[in-house]
Amino acid sequence: MIRTGLKMVIAVLLIVGFCSMVWAETPAPKDERKHTTLGKYATSIEAYEMWKANPTKVKIIDCRIPEEYAYVGHAPMAINIPSMVWTGKWNAEKNDYALDPNTEFEALVKQKAALDDTILIMCRSGHRSSASVNRLAKVGFTNVYNIVDGFEGDMVTDEDSYFKGKRGKNGWKNSSAPWTYQLDPALIYRHAEK
């Protein structure tokens, strides 16, 4: 009985070790805006598997604004700490609303994760999360991954597709990873009281 248990433990350790090597080998994405200074990348599915393997030491941070987190959906275990905040001002050059850096971002991540934790950063499609990884690297975090396909994924570019221009190519929401609209007060962003 002890030998069987020992074999099971060894098998689990080998599987976790192999998965760790696979995750470390995830190549840099083709889109250079998703590159980070740490050079650590994961797809949504890889991120979910990493979290499942060690949920106490692997933290998933959703750096989108709270409105995206609440109304578009989110990973049920993801902590919402926006790296940018809504301004409500129109940016004609980008044809979008402007976002400003959240000055609390690094401090709030330090409250939720230790410097030696594995941190997986997710945004809509992998651009804000890459900038967020770089911000965390500057304050001493070393094991931070960019979830390169984000929550909504990349845009469909196939000219013949009904979904052209919509985010449905990959991403957490379009994968087999769990997601929800349900809000957990322990995981939602709350602006610091001034």
- 113-145 pLDDT, tens digit per residue, is 999 999 999 999 999 999 999 999 999 999 999
Euclidean distance between CA atoms 94 and 16, whole angstroms: 43
pLDDT at residue 21 greater than cutoff 50: no
**What distance in Å separates the CA atoms of residue 73 and residue 152, rounded to the nearest whole number?**
9
Q: Report helix, strand or coil for 96.
A: strand
- Specify the DSSP class assigned to residue 3: H
Q: What is the rounded CA–CA span in Å between residue 73 and residue 141?
A: 27
In CATH, the architecture of 2-174 is 3-Layer(aba) Sandwich (3.40)
**Can you tell me the distance from the alpha carbon of 68 to that of 124, in angstroms, rounded to the nearest whole number?**
8
Per-residue pLDDT for 146 more than 60? yes
Find the mean pLDDT for residues 140-164: 88
- Could you tell me the pLDDT band of residue 163, with boundaries at 50, 70 and 90? confident
